[in-house]
Structure formats: structure tokens, C-alpha cells
Chains A and B, each alone.
Chain A
Amino acid sequence: MSEKTDKNAKTGTADGAGRRLSVFKTYKLYVGGKFPRSESGRVYEVTDSEGHWLANAPLSSRKDARDAVVAARKAFGGWAGATAYNRGQVLYRVAEMLEGRREQFAAEVADAEGLSRDEAATQVDAAVDRWVWYAGWTDKIAQIVGGGNPVAGPFFNLSSPEPTGVVAVLAPQESSFLGLVSVLAPVIATGNTAVVIASERAPLPALSLGEVLATSDVPGGVVNVLSGRTAEIAAPLAAHQDVNAIDLAGAGEALAKELEIAAADNLKRVLRPQPVDDWAATPGTERMTAFLETKTVWHPTGSLGASGSAY
């Protein structure tokens, strides 16, 4: 590839003058807490906004998608069962780890989206803050959307939100990092586990995020990141019987419809793509509630009278 020389120019080429040869990074998937290549052995070339080669990314297969679902399902019980406080701690830890790698992500986002370094850094900062925002939500959302219900009878009646399960997330195509974090964080803040399809054209920030998550006490399998052709990976996820919900943020109109039809087969919760003008705007709670179930538990309150029975 001819542009390769440009990339090498940017990252340094060894020459007689003693300039150091840089080390390229092999971008890999993040599945079940590990960093596998695609089982298919395929990669595709990722370029910057001007067409210059940046790296090869794994071209995930349907089998990679299924493996990721298995990993996400395996992680679900533990993550959903963790205390909300603990999940908040872990999400905050993600923000801490990300802050420390701010420069790396700013560079990757700048390349991926054709932004200046400053603009890219603003995106990364917003993404860090977004993790902090959702970290704080983990132990509050239940109080916002759940609560006691004053039923007309001698019953204790409580509604609580619970995570729906494994959520397939099609990350936004344009906002490769802030957009990704904005759709991923609410899914796992509420106790779901995720299989994320990175932006097809700009997957590198998402793949690097896997490295951050792996070192942030996020249990393996809670987040699984796949790169490749969105439509190719999304189809088996939308049809998968062990996926509970799908966020279509990164799907175009035709693909979204096709996936929603496939998702009906086991009645997945579907979050349709919505136009987002500014990923940096403060989100509402909708991305959390979209993947929450409401469980209502009844119990007789009985009486302290002499009737003898509590029922």
C-alpha cells in the first residue's frame, strides 16, 4: 500500500542518522477478558480520514460474535449480582485509567476522525467525564426508576430495575470514541454485559479501550469489543437467541430495519438509532432505562391482630 510510507514518515523510519524505528501495535479483539485475533485469521486495513494506513484491525467473523456472546453471558451473573457501589467503583476506575492514557487516545481519535489534536483531546476528556457520570449512576438509578407502590390491599409491593442481560451494541460510526463510550457505559453501569461492534471505519480507539477495561477491574466478559464489518457481525448478534437486547446506534436505516426484524425472533429489546447532534451533551437516563427490566415483588403485610394468619 502506497500510503504506508506516509505513515512511516509520521512514526519515524530508521535511517543512518540514528532515528529510532517505532514499534507498531497489533490491534486485537477484546473478548472474555482476553485479546484474541479473529478466529477467521482475517484483518482489514484501517486508514485515517485521509486514507493513510494506520493499522490492521481484526475482521471479526460470525463465530467471533458467537464467542463474544458466550463470554458476555458467562460474565452476566457476576456483574449483575455485584453491588451497585462496586460497579460504580469499577466504572470510576475506568475513568482513572483512561485519564492516564489521555495522550494515546487523543492521538488515536485525531487520526480516526480527522480532528486536530486539541479537538481530539476534548473528545477524550468528555469520554473520561462520561465514565465518571455513569459511575455515579450505578447506585442511584434504582431509586429514580424503582420504588414502592401503594397498592389497595395489605401488601408490600416494590418495583426494582434489573439489567436485561446481554446487550449487543453497534457503536456509532462517526464518533469513534466519545460516541462509543456514550453507548457502552450506560449498558454496563446498569449491570448488563455487552458485545460491542466498534465503528467499522475507525475501530482503533475502541480496540484500545479494551486494554483500558482489562486493567480497570472490569471483570472479563462484561465488555467484549469486536471490529470488522458492522453488518456482518451485527446480523448473527441480532438473531442470537441468547442476546437480550440490541442498541442500533451504529446502524444505517436499512440495516437497522433488517436487524430489528431479526431481533423480533426472541423479542430483544431494541434501541433504534437516533440522530445525535452532539455526543458531548449531557445524556439523560434513557440509555440506561432502555436496557432495564422492572421486577415487581409482592408480599402480604399480614397483621399483628389475633387472627393468627399472616396471609
Chain B
Amino acid sequence: MSKKNKKTRQAAVASAAEAGGTLAATAAATAPVAHAAPERASAFAYAPAPESRAVVDIAPSYGLFIDGEFTEAADGRVFKTVSPATEEVLSEVAQAGEADVDRAVKAARKAFGVWSALPGAERAKYLFRIARIIQERSRELAVLETLDNGKPIRETRDADLPLVAAHFFYYAGWADKLDHAGYGAHPRPLGVAGQVIPWNFPLLMLAWKIAPALATGNTVVLKPAETTPLSALFFADVCRRAGLPRGVVNILPGYGDAGAALVAHPDVDKVAFTGSTAVGKQIARTVAGTRKKLTLELGGKGANIVFDDAPIDQAVEGVVNGIFFNQGQVCCAGSRLLVQESIHDELLDSLKRRLSTLRLGDPLDKNTDIGAINSAEQLARITSLVEQGEAEGAERWSAPCELPGNGYWFAPTLFTGVTQAHTVARDEIFGPVLSVLTFRTPDEAVAKANNTPYGLSAGIWTEKGSRILAVANRLRAGVVWSNTFNKFDPTSPFGGYKESGFGREGGRHGLEAYLDV
């Protein structure tokens, strides 16, 4: 980097700090603390590059979307949704209650007859329209998602939104080909699908739920998470623009009580839930003894296994992506690093060096790596589990970075000296916290990786192909990434073993959840 450049960037950082200090300082490669080596730190400083908010127009208030219309909640309740990066109130949203759930289910039931009777090719075209409109409005939706969720614009722009559009495109194509999907001739839809989704990938989880449901001829009532209702409401507008018949898609922003009412509604034929394992179990109990078909995509405690022959730099990138993508608020996060003992020190040095260069701050800045934690509640949970980790004797290291004064933030953190008995190695933290354990033999790696009630994801890093296949075979996890991590695609089935849930989303497999087979 030229001297001139360096100066410009230093100046930029200074002005950013003056402007509100949301752009965090970053540490130099060898500096343990950001401010200890300002000269080196500047080498990693970036000018602010904020994405414009002007592309999205957030209304001061939103209603529920039922039977093709935005409407108030029956009891008139509303709740506020805030930007987790600034705590600014973004909008006020109608809060669905039991009466609204009933109204939405009735609308979906009424729409089901016509929708399921449409030729598949016609349903397909609606979905293609939706996919196209999402592509056209993807920057707007990316900015919106970043504002409401707190995740970096780089992720919403480059991961969430392209995957959302791709998901609708993929399932659009299935709508008139279901006879060939391997579920017999003329597989039938189930009816009304009640879908409850989390806040970590609001629009992507919506796409995972709605696209296959509509392609197979079901109608849906979807409840987005209470902290991230906006993109689902914008999606409602996309449906209207696409000319989707009334009642085929109904969106009910609300809290857990609305989700519970939806799941328990007697006229719902299918329940799909993504979220915590505890809630998933409650839902499984609720639908027990009914005819409701159930799919659950729940928590995880993914192991990222790094063998001594792995290319260290790539492995470090993969480990970082595995646990710090979306601030670690990912069900399939690689939250346990299992490193072969002989390379432990080398890998940890590289990892800490890399973590020190991550830029935490304004999620709308295009250079930001680590955005805000989604809510004060989630931040409290992460903080409490990390404190417990320290109290139990694991050694904590956090990347040296300044946290903005407003909003919900947590620095990238790792624990070393972790045993399998430590809480941080067992509980899903759902935050930017990595627990590092070691192993000596592949057998030990597999045993430790599988030593969890979860079974969603795992990673393997080694140059040896036969070892990848042997280890992948023995891991009890629904998705195994070898020499890569956190890759998603609409054609690739996703879902867990054991207490990470059941059923698959994505691919041909994802159709089964919405067909009467």
C-alpha cells in the first residue's frame, strides 16, 4: 500500500469516528490491542463505504397481511421493530393474536381450493414472477434486511438476497414437474401450511418455507420473528405485485403466542418451524396425535474438524466463516473448533491474527464483517453463556475492537482450554463465540464431533480425500462441508439429525414436507 493511500485511510477512520464512531478500529496483525500500534492498524483501516438507505422506504406502520390486504390486528395491538445497530425505531407493526391467526387460516383455507387446482405450470409462473421481482428489488430488500436484522450489507447483498431469489426460481420449476419428483404420480398438497421462522435469516427462511409450499399447491400462513418482521411484510407487497391470488400467502407478524396459536390451529395441515430446539420440542408435543405433518429445523453445535495436513490459511478462513458469518447467529454454525493437537498453536495464532482484522461496526458499511447482534435479549444470552464459560475455567480471548455505544454488539470471541464438559462446548450460544477443543486421532475427532444431542452441520479440513470421505461417513450431521463451510444452495437439501430436527429443506427432498406422501 502506498504511503499516500495510507494517509487517506487514516484520515477516513478519524472522520468516521467523529461521525459517530460506528466504524470500529481494527487491530494490526501482531498487535494484541487495537490502539497499541496505530501505525500498523491504519494499514487495515478502510474508508467508510455506507450503502445508501435511500433505496428503501420504510413506512411508519405496517399491518398484518391477510387475504391479500394489510389489516390491523383484531385487538389493535402493535409492536415496534428497531434497528439492532442503533436501537432506532424503524416502524410500528401490527401484532397478530389468536383471532388474527384464525382469520388468516380461514383465508388460506379458502384460497387453497383454487390454488391447488391451478395447473402446475400456472403456479410456476407466479413463483417465477416472485423470483424476478425479488431480483429487481434485491438491493432495497438487502438494505431493509440489514436495517431490521443488524447483519452486514455484504451478507444480505451477496448471500441472503441471491439465495432468496434462487430458491423461488428453483421451486418454481418444480411446480409442474411434481409427477417426476419420486413421490408417485400426482402427489397431492397437504392444505394450509403454518410456518414459523426465526430472525437470523428473515427473508431467506421465508423463501425456504414459502417457495416449496406454494410450488406443491399449498397455501401458507407465515409468522416472522418479532424482531425482524419487515422483510416478510415487503414480501407481501411482492406477492401483490406478482398478482398472487388473495389468501395464498398470509403474513402474521407477532410473538411466540401467535406462533403457538398457528401451530395449534385445528385447520392447519402442515407445520414447519425453524428456530430453537426447545420450542421445536414444544411444537412436536402440540401436533402429537393430530394429522399435521411436521418438519423442524432446529439448533446445532457444529464441529469444524481441522487435521494437521489442512492448508492452514484456508482452514482459518473457513473457521472464521463458520462461526462469525452473521455474527454466529446461524443454526449450522461451526461453533466448536476441533483442531488436531500438533497444529493447535499454529492454527490459533493464525486465527487470532485473522480475527483481529475483522471489521465490526455499521452493518450498512460495505466493508463491515461483523454486524450487530439481533436483539438485546440475544446479546444478554450470549453474554451470560460467555461469562459462564469463563467461570467454568475456559480461557477467553476476544478480538480487540471497539464496540459502538448504541445497539447490541459482541466482539468475536474464542475459548481455548475447552473440554467437552464445558457449557460453551455443549450449549448452542448463537453468537460470535468459538470453542476450541483438540484431538489426536480421527477416531477421537469423530467421537467428539458426535458428542452432542445436535446433528446439523460439521466441517472437515484435510488434504486427504479418503480421510474426508471416511470422516464424513461417520459424522452424524445433516450437512458436512469439507474444505469449505456455510455453503447453501436451493438444490441442496438442508436439515438435521437427532435434536437438530427432522425433514429437509431444499432440493427434491424439500418437496416431501409439503406433499401428502
Chain A residues 77 to 97 lying within 8 A of chain B, measured CB to CB, are none
Q: Which of B288, B480, B483 sits near A295, CB closer than 8 Å?
A: B480
Q: Given contacts A264-B284, A267-B277, are A295 and B477 in contact (CB under 8 A)?
A: yes
Interface residue B484 (Cβ < 8 Å from any Cβ of A)? yes
Partner of A149 from the list B284, B481, B493 (CB cut-off 8 Å) is B493
Write out the residue numbers on chain A whose beta carbons fall within 8 Å of the beta carbon of B498.
244, 266-267
Contact flag A311-B311 (CB < 8 Å), given A257-B288, A267-B277, A299-B483: yes
User: Which of the 9-residue segments B82-90, B228-236, B240-248, B500-508 touches chain A?
Assistant: B500-508
Verify if A297 is at the interface (C-beta below 8 Å from B).
yes
Closest B-chain residue to A285, C-beta based?
B182
Pick the contact of A311: B182, B472, B484, B502 (CB < 8 A): B484
Contact of A261 among B285, B298, B507, B512 (CB under 8 A): B285
Kindly identify, within residues 285 to 311 of chain A, every residue whose CB is under 8 Å from any CB belonging to chain B.
Answer: 286, 289, 293-300, 309-311
CB neighbours of A150 from chain B (8 A): 491
Nearest B residue to A284, CB-CB: B184
Complex: how many Å from CA A256 to CA B489?
37
Contacts known (A150-B491, A155-B487); A298 close to B499, Cβ less than 8 A: no
Is B281 close to A, CB under 8 A?
Answer: yes
With the chains together, A267 CA to B277 CA distance in Å? 9
Most chain B CB atoms below 10 A, which of A145, A294, A310: A294
Alpha-carbon distance A151/B481, docked complex (angstroms): 13
Q: Complex Cα distance A159/B491, Å?
A: 10
User: What residues on A are CB-neighbors of B63 within 8 Å?
Assistant: none
Whether A267 pairs with B478 at a CB distance below 8 angstroms is no
The A124-167 residues at the B interface (CB cut-off 8 A) are 144-145, 149-153, 155, 157, 159, 164
Chain B CB within 10 Å, residue with most, of A144, A157, A261, A296: A296
Contact B493 A294, beta carbon cutoff 8 Å: yes
- With beta carbons under 8 angstroms apart, the residue of A153, A260, A286, A294 that contacts B289 is A260
Contacts of A149 in B (CB 8 A): 489, 491-493, 507
Given A159-B493, A257-B288, A286-B517, A298-B182 contact (CB < 8 Å): no
Name the B residues within 8 Å of A257 (CB-CB). Answer: 288-289
Whether B478 pairs with A293 at a CB distance below 8 angstroms is yes
Q: Contact: A267 with B480, CB < 8 Å?
A: no
Give the distance in Å from the alpha carbon of A263 to the alpha carbon of B478 in the complex: 20
B494 in the interface, Cβ–Cβ < 8 Å?
yes
Residues B492 and A264 in contact, CB atoms below 8 Å apart: no
Evaluate contact between B483 and A296: CB separation under 8 angstroms: no
Interface flag for B38 (CB, 8 Å)? no
In the complex, the answer to whether A153 meets B487 with C-beta atoms within 8 Å is: yes
CA distance A272 to B282 in the complex (A): 18
The number of chain A residues with a CB under 8 A from chain B is 38
Which of A151, A244, A260, A295 has the most chain B CB atoms inside 10 A of its CB?
Answer: A295
Q: Which of B281, B493, B509 contacts A264 (CB 8 A)?
A: B281
Report Cα–Cα, A298/B499, bound state, in Å: 22
Tell me the minimal C-beta distance from B158 to chain A in angstroms. Answer: 13
Contact B502 A269 (CB under 8 A): yes
A159 contact from B484, B509, B512, Cβ within 8 A: B509
Partner of B284, one of A256, A267, A300: A267
Contacts of A284 in B (CB 8 A): 184
Residues from chain B with a CB closer than 8 A to the CB of A15 are: none
Nearest CB of chain B from residue A311's CB, rounded to whole Å: 5
Contact of A267 with B289 at beta-carbon distance under 8 Å, contacts A294-B478, A298-B484 already known: no
Tell me the minimal C-beta distance from A295 to chain B in angstroms: 6
Chain A positions 232-281 with a Cβ under 8 Å from a chain B Cβ: 244, 253, 256-257, 260-261, 263-267, 269-270
Asked whether B227 is an interface residue with its Cβ less than 8 Å from the other chain, the reply is no
Question: In the complex the two chains form, is A157's CB within 8 Å of B288's CB?
Answer: no
Name the CB-closest residue of B to A157. Answer: B492
Return A155 CB to nearest CB of chain B, in Å. 6
Evaluate contact between A296 and B182: CB separation under 8 angstroms.
Answer: no
CB of B450, distance to nearest CB on chain A (Å): 11
Contact partners of B487 in chain A: CB under 8 A? 151, 153, 155, 298
A269 to chain B, nearest CB (A): 6
A284 to B185, CA, bound (A): 13
Chain A to chain B: the 8 pairs with minimum beta-carbon distance, closest first: A257-B289, A264-B284, A260-B288, A151-B489, A149-B491, A261-B288, A297-B480, A264-B285
A-B contact pairs, 5 of them (CB 8 A): A151-B492, A153-B489, A264-B285, A267-B280, A296-B479
Which residues from chain A sit less than 8 Å from chain B, CB to CB? 144-145, 149-153, 155, 157, 159, 164, 244, 253, 256-257, 260-261, 263-267, 269-270, 284, 286, 289, 293-300, 309-311
**Chain B residues packing against A (C-beta within 8 Å):** 166, 182, 184, 277, 280-282, 284-285, 288-289, 296, 298, 311, 314, 453, 468, 472, 475, 477-484, 487, 489, 491-495, 497-499, 501-502, 504, 507, 509, 512, 517
Give 12 A-B pairs besides A267-B499, A295-B475 with Cβ atoms closer than 8 angstroms: A144-B182, A149-B489, A153-B487, A260-B289, A265-B281, A267-B281, A267-B502, A289-B512, A295-B478, A298-B484, A299-B484, A311-B311
